[in-house]
Structure formats: structure tokens, C-alpha cells
């Protein structure tokens, strides 16, 4: 091929692509319909204006079912930038026989009409005809040199082979990086049901966070944003455990992250395990405190709602409409696993390590030394945990104390300066402590994060400091679960801490107390604590 021919071919390609870009149809509005309009509190039908970022393309979509020839429309409306919809003026489903039909297109109101047209033979025939036309339309005889023929033939093949070998090496390297015991040798059970997702298309938008068990995506489920936590196959145990905990009776609570569904995507070694929950734009408490300080009222609201979530998780509640809610220990409470709603209401998230405790049943195989090292209680760091329900709940209480300290450290209520955000023990062990570092600081030296002197001069912060000290007491049996109940029922009054009524450790719960645990068998205070003072 001569230089002039190459130049002409390049100009032709640029002209075609420019014409396609300039000539594409801009989508500004779409037909809107929602079969579940009453439940989701939207309009039933109408015209929906499409909004989005300037550099993103907008489309229309439609979803429907076909039951014995009867078409039942599920949803119609605007759709985000999707390469599968580019330059399609008609809304056509190309799949052979899906359970739920879905199509998207470009152009105003292009989803007003939609159709199902798989027609693979026509597509194949068109491709074959085009190939034949291309082969016979060249008037010049092709007499390439042998070297050029080999070069053009072998280089792409060698490139593809190199990519395949590199991909296989990466897969083997990644697979061997995980402990063999975590890789399931066979499917341990059926895919968890996800009825809310079966009829709705789910579109991943951007990665918001990465953790030890997977990454969290912001995604769009029709007209609302959701969070999708994606686990690799090696972490199936954590995904399955989190799904099982969310599926327990009575797990719907304002201060526990709302669970939507779970799915398996892909097949064989390419399986991804998805967990879909409500999306909260403010993100985690860690991220919020890094960028913001909090007022006294904001601290109270976050602390109260966090305490209510943990307290409800710990409760054993019989007699609910959907069954008996067992007590659940979180085992990885930290500010990163506390999400904030728009109004700064806290909700507890990430139940991958959680344990449930049902009467007469074992908690199952577990390992005591789990969680985030920085938030591990002294008995966990020592490996001397008692594998009973109360012991696990007290471990959670220790971590709650550290999270409350993070809140106090970023509060503007005290007269002193507010420092930059720091994690608990960051001054002592830095950002990436080893297990030995935490054992030395927490177990041997018995240190805790500093409770600043200026906090004691503020009535509310002084009471919060007392609650924090009760939570992170070195002796596990001295950690009274009433501390978290007290912070859950605490109100931001102006009365000094010393003038508020105090309940002695030995006093029983009042029958009229609204925040009384519903399981009287455990209030977190042992006989040992009632008989002697706590060792601070």
C-alpha cells in the first residue's frame, strides 16, 4: 500500500468518525412509565427530561415482560451513558429470549416504541455479504511480497498470544496470593434470591471504596443510586456471611445499613459476588471527619444514632412479626464501617465478620483474633478471648469507645483548638501498625487515646468522656453495655454532667426505661463489676 493510499484511507476514517460524532442525535427527553409507581411514590407516566454531565451521552430505555404474547411494560425513562446504546435510533432488544426485555436508544422519545428482534441469521448474512462484497470489489490484483504477508499475519497472532500468556500468569499470581482455605472447591449453595433486582437493570458507575474483602461501587438501579459491594470468589465466605446476617429476622432498622439484594455475576472462575445496599452520598464517618469538624449537636446526633444501631444489633428480640431476632456481634466496628446519611444519621455497615447467637445453638467455627488491629480490644490482641456471646459484645463496646473518641476529637464545642483528624492510636503507632505494635501499646502499656483537659470543662463532653472510658476499660467484664445505652438515650441539655442523675452499677433497670434491653439475661455488667470498682 503506497503512501498516498494510506493518507487517503486515514482521511476517510477521520471523515467518517467526525461525521458520526457531529451527526449523532442528542437525547433531551424520554417517555416515562413506572409500573410500581404507587410503591415507589412516583408519577405513573409522562415525559421525563434527561439530565447528566456535559461529556456524557444520554439515552432512553424500556423494560418489559412478554407473558404468553401479552406485553407488560415495567419501566421507561432516561438512561445514563452506555456504549450499547450509541447511535441506535430504535429501542430494540437483541437477546434471544430474556426473562425481562431491555432496550435503549438515542433520540428524543425514542423509547415510545420498542421491539424484540434478535434475528442473528440476518446479522450473520449481512456480515457474510459485506465480506464477499469487499473481497470482489477490489479491481487491483493483490500480489504482496512474502515478507509483508508474514509480517501482517504473524504479528497480531503473536501479540494476542503474549496477552493471553500474561493474563494467565496474572491470574495464577493473584490466585496464589490468597490462602487456599478461602477458595471454595465447590458451590456451597444456591444463589441467594434477589427479587428486587430480577426485573431491574443495574449499572455500575464508579468505585467509591476498596477494602480487604472487595470494592464498593456507586451504581444506578433504574432511577435511584445504590451501593454494590463486589467480592472476588476467594472471599465468598465473607459475602455469604454478610448475606446471612442481613437475612436474619428483624434486621431492618434505621441505624443498620439497608440491604437490597445479593447476586452472583459471571460463571466458573470469573464469578463475582455482589451485595447491593442503600447508597449514602456522605460516605463513612472516617471520610466525613477528615473533611469536616462537628458541632456539639451534630456530635450528639451521630453518637446517639450509632449507639442505637449497635445496641439494636446486640439485642435478642423474640416475638417479631418475621420471627426471632438473635443477638449479633459485629466484630469489626470502626469509623470506616459507620456510614452517614444526608442528615448525619449514622448506620452500621459491613457485617462480613459478624456472628449471630441463637439460643441452644453454637456460634459456629470462628477465630477470635479478627477485625482491624487498631480497634482490637486488649483480650483480642492477647488471644485470650472467651468464646461466649457476652465476650464478643464487650469487644464491640471497646471499639465503640474509640469511635466516640474520634467524634470528640473533631468537635468544636470545647474552648481548645480542634486538631486535624487522626485515627485512634495514630500518635503512638502510626497509620499501619503491626499486631505487636498494638499489643505493646494497648495490652502492656495500657494506653488509650488522650482525653483532652479542655473537654472536661464542657458539661456534655465531660459526660461523653465518662462514657468513652466505660467503653474501653481494660477489663472486659468491666465494660458495661449500659454505657452505649446511655449514649443512645442521652440528650444535649445544658445541665452540667455532675447534676444529671447517675445510676449506680448495681441498680436495676427501671421497668419504665424506654431504652431497656429486651433481653434481661445480659446488661453487660458482671457480678465482678458490681462487687468492686473498675480499674481505669
Q: Which positions are catalytic?
A: 332
- What is the C-alpha radius of gyration for the chain, rounded to an integer number of angstroms? 30
For 92, residues 6+ apart whose C-beta sits below 8 A from its C-beta are 103, 105, 114, 115, 116, 117
What length does the chain have?
536
Strands 114-116 and 91-93 come out as parallel
Task: Kindly state the DSSP code that residue 439 receives in the 8-state scheme.
Answer: I
Secondary element (H or E) of residue 152: helix 146-176
Cα→Cα distances 276→43, 134, 202, 242, 433, Å: 25, 48, 10, 11, 32
* CA-based nearest residue to 77, from 101, 49, 102, 97: 49
**C-alpha cell belonging to residue 492:** 444535649
Neighbour count for residue 84 (Cβ, 10 Å): 11
For 49, residues 6+ apart whose C-beta sits below 8 A from its C-beta are 28, 29, 78
Give me the phi and psi of 432, to 5 degrees please.
Answer: -130, 70
Gap between the Cα atoms of 481 and 368, Å rounded:
20
Helix, strand, or coil here: 165?
helix
Neighbour count for residue 158 (Cβ, 10 Å): 10
Place of cell 443498620: 256
214 dihedral zone (left: phi>0; alpha: psi -120 to 50; beta): left
**How far is it between the farthest Cα atoms of the chain?**
103
Cα→Cα distances 181→177, 178, 234, 243, 267, Å: 12, 8, 9, 20, 21
Gap between the Cα atoms of 298 and 340, Å rounded:
12
**C-alpha cell belonging to residue 310:** 449497635
CA dihedral of 102, 103, 109, 115, whole degrees rounded to 10: -90
Place of cell 508474514: 150
Four-residue CA torsion sign, 297, 299, 303, 305: positive
Task: Kindly state the DSSP code that residue 284 receives in the 8-state scheme.
Answer: B
Under a CB-based contact definition with an 8 Å cutoff, are residues 463 and 500 in contact? yes
DSSP string, 43-109: -SEEEEE----TTS--EEEEEEEEETTEEEEEEEEEE---GGGTT--SEEE-SSS-SSEEEEE-STT
Amino acid at each position: 500500500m503506497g503512501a498516498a493510499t494510506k493518507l487517503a484511507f486515514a482521511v476517510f476514517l477521520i471523515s467518517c468518525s467526525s461525521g458520526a460524532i457531529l451527526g449523532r442525535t442528542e437525547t433531551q427527553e424520554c417517555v416515562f412509565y413506572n409500573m410500581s409507581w404507587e410503591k415507589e411514590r412516583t408519577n405513573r407516566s409522562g415525559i421525563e427530561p434527561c439530565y447528566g454531565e456535559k461529556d456524557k451521552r444520554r439515552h432512553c430505555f424500556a423494560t418489559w415482560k412478554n407473558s404468553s404474547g401479552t406485553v407488560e411494560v415495567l419501566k421507561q425513562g432516561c438512561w445514563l451513558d452506555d456504549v450499547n446504546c450509541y447511535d441506535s435510533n430504535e429501542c430494540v432488544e437483541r437477546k434471544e429470549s430474556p426473562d425481562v426485555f431491555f432496550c435503549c436508544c438515542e433520540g428524543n422519545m425514542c423509547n415510545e416504541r420498542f421491539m424484540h428482534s434478535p434475528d442473528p441469521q440476518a446479522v450473520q448474512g449481512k456480515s457474510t455479504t459485506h465480506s464477499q462484497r469487499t473481497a470482489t470489489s477490489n479491481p487491483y490484483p493483490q500480489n504482496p511480497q512474502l515478507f509483508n504477508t508474514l509480517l501482517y499475519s504473524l504479528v497480531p497472532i503473536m501479540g494476542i498470544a503474549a496477552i493471553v500468556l500474561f493474563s494467565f500468569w496474572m491470574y495464577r499470581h493473584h490466585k496464589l496470593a490468597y490462602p487456599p482455605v478461602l477458595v471454595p472447591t465447590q458451590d456451597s449453595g444456591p444463589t441467594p434470591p434477589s427479587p428486587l433486582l430480577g426485573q431491574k437493570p443495574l449499572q455500575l458507575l464508579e468505585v467509591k471504596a476498596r477494602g480487604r474483602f472487595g470494592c464498593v461501587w456507586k451504581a444506578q438501579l433504574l432511577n435511584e443510586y445504590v451501593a454494590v459491594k463486589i467480592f472476588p470468589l476467594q472471599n465468598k465466605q465473607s459475602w455469604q456471611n454478610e448475606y446471612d446476617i442481613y437475612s436474619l429476622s428483624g434486621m431492618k432498622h434505621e441505624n443498620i445499613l439497608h440491604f437490597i439484594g445479593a447476586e452472583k455475576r459471571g460463571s466458573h472462575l470469573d464469578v463475582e459476588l455482589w451485595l447491593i445496599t442503600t447508597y449514602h452520598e456522605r460516605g463513612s464517618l472516617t471520610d466525613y471527619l477528615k473533611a469536616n469538624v462537628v458541632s456539639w449537636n451534630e456530635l450528639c446526633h451521630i453518637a446517639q444514632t450509632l449507639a442505637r444501631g449497635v445496641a439494636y444489633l446486640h439485642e435478642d428480640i423474640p416475638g417479631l412479626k418475621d420471627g426471632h431476632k438473635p443477638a449479633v456481634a459485629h466484630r469489626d466496628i470502626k469509623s470506616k464501617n459507620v456510614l452517614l446519611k444526608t442528615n448525619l444519621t449514622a448506620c452500621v455497615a459491613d457485617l462480613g465478620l459478624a456472628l449471630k447467637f441463637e439460643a441452644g445453638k453454637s456460634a459456629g467455627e470462628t477465630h477470635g483474633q479478627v477485625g482491624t488491629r487498631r480497634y482490637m480490644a486488649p483480650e483480642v490482641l492477647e488471644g485470650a478471648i472467651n468464646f461466649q456471646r457476652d465476650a464478643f459484645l464487650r469487644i464491640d463496646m471497646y471499639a465503640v469507645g474509640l469511635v466516640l473518641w474520634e467524634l470528640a476529637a473533631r468537635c468544636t464545642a470545647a474552648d481548645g483548638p480542634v486538631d486535624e483528624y487522626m485515627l485512634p492510636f495514630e500518635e503512638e503507632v502510626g497509620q499501619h501498625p503491626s499486631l505487636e505494635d498494638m499489643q505493646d501499646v494497648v495490652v502492656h502499656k495500657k494506653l488509650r487515646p488522650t482525653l483532652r483537659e479542655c473537654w472536661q470543662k464542657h458539661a456534655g463532653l465531660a459526660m461523653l468522656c465518662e462514657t468513652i472510658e466505660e467503653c474501653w476499660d481494660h477489663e472486659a467484664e468491666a465494660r458495661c453495655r449500659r454505657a452505649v445505652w446511655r449514649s443512645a438515650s442521652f440528650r444535649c441539655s445544658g445541665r452540667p454532667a455532675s447534676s444529671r442523675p447517675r445510676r449506680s452499677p448495681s441498680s436495676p433497670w427501671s421497668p419504665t426505661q424506654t431504652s431497656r434491653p429486651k433481653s434481661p439475661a445480659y446488661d453487660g455488667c458482671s457480678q465482678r463489676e458490681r462487687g468492686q470498682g473498675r480499674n481505669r
